[in-house]
Structure 1
Amino acid sequence: MSQDVFGEEFWDERYGADDRVWSGQPNPQLVDRVTGLTPGRALDVGAGEGADAVWLARRGWDVTAFDVSRVALDKVRAHAVDAGVADRVTCHRVDLATWVGEPAAYDLVSAQFMYLDQPGLTTLYRQLGAAVAPGGRLLLVGHHPVDERHGSHDFPDVRWTPEDAAAWLDADDWASIDTATVQRQGHLGTMHDGIVEAVKRSG
């Protein structure tokens, strides 16, 4: 697979081409799984234009937003200012293909639709798991292989089943690992999201 698809230049160009690439609404699986949790330190991985980061910050989370694109992060900062939560959102330009991790740093780590090829994606998910603090939560959401590539999702094959993704984690590190496949309606029709939600052992 071409690394260009996953690099800064590609995403800078994409985010710079339109005022808004995504809907501006938080990812529905994040809303469904995180609503009601006690706020703490959150890592939003691949933050894009910042809808998830702003949603979390509005609910009291202190959010670190990662993205490979500086253009995207400029949008995150602007949207955080507009929402009155700039003091709760910190942005960092990070190449996730070479990121070495931050052990036990976050109470919530959310990675929605990561565009990395293998084996980089498996390595990233394990590093994200290591970044979850004891008692914290890892939320992985990705495109399920049951959906064909089409439209804006015509990327190299980054799809996974939740069962496969759960197996990439070290079961001994987690008090629970839950998997699910959920349908949702997107602008391209019915889509299937693979979900892994894991809770770190407290000790």
Structure 2
Amino acid sequence: MTETFGAEYWRAHWAEAGHGAPPPHPALDTEVTGLAPGTALDAGSGEGAEARWLAAHGWTVTAVDLAARAAGPTGTTPLDDAITWIESDLTTWEPPDPFALVTTFYAHPTIGQLAFYDRIARWVAPGGTLLIVGHAHDGGHARGHAHPDGATADVEGVRALLAAPAWTIETAEYRDRALADRHGRAMPLRDVVVRARRSDR
């Protein structure tokens, strides 16, 4: 069944998920650590783990998500001073200025994955970086829990979207990893990871 991924979907998802937040995605360590900090957008910031990682590494972060849980995270830390939390629909929201870095991790937009990636790519400043991490088409969760329709991507499609000369692809691959679910069981994941640098012209 195709999901619409509206605000009600995400409020129900967070209610079912409980209060345990996952750790920041490991692609931040491999793809962002070497970049000079500046302004960053975390598009579809979820529970805020990636936004806080960016803030801890010197970035000034705008974290935008459709669901109230992301815009008003439970508890605050000193890192939140470097983060602007915005509750908004990324299919209609527009930033006032482009960002040195735009990231998205497992966002499930109402407009489809490639259309969403194309939209957020426009918000990368010249010379800036776009980091996309998504669920792979063949990367369903363990025990038969497949990702909903409209929530997956493939490396080839993202590469075609970020074409030269406007973009230079620096990483484009599938990565397998395991993440513990809320019951402590290992949940295998297959990710699409694409990092691209926008032309500075």
Q: Please classify the TM superposition score into its range, dividing by the shorter chain length.
A: 0.7 to 0.9
TM-aligned CA deviation for residue 189 of structure 1: 3.4
Deviates further, 176-185 or 87-96? 176-185
Superposed displacement of residue 63, structure 1: 0.3
* Residue of structure 2 in register with 1:138 after alignment: 130
Greater relative contact order (CA < 8 Å, ≥ 6 in sequence): 2
Q: Output the TM-score relative to the length of structure 1.
A: 0.84
| Residue pair 2:142, 2:187 contacting (<8 A) in 1 also | no
Gaps of 5+ in 1: none
Q: CA deviation at 1:130?
A: 1.0
Whole-angstrom CA distance in 2 between matches of 1:103 and 1:168: 24
> In the alignment, which residue of structure 1 is the partner of 2:12?
13
Q: SS of 1:171's equivalent?
A: coil
Contact 1:66 1:92 in 2 (8 A): yes
Q: Once the two structures are aligned, what percentage of the paired residues are identical?
A: 32
Distance across 2 between alignment mates of 1:170 and 1:103: 25
Q: How many residues align?
A: 194
Question: How far off is 1:115 after superposition?
Answer: 1.1
**Does 2:45 match 1:35?**
no
Over the residues paired in the alignment, what is the CA RMSD in angstroms? Answer: 2.3
TM-score by length of 2: 0.85
Alignment correspondent of 1:97: 91
**In the alignment, which residue of structure 1 is the partner of 2:104?**
111
Cα distance change on mapping 1:150 and 1:103 into 2, 3 Å: farther
- TM superposition shift of 1:97: 3.2
Higher fraction of helix: 1
Deviation at 1:103, TM superposition (A): 7.8
Q: Deviations over 1:47-70 (max 9, x none)?
A: 111111111101110000010011
Are 1:85 and 2:79 matched, yes or no? yes
Q: How many Å apart are 1:126 and its aligned residue?
A: 1.2
In the TM superposition, what are the counterparts of 1:1-203 in structure 2 within 5 Å?
1-3=2-4, 6-17=5-16, 19-23=18-22, 25-75=23-73, 78-79=74-75, 81-82=76-77, 84-99=78-93, 101-102=94-95, 105-116=98-109, 120-148=112-140, 154-187=147-180, 188-203=186-201
| Cα deviation digits, residues 62-100 of structure 1 (max 9, x gap) | 00001001122211xx45x22x1222000111212334x
Unaligned 5+ residue runs, structure 2? 181-185
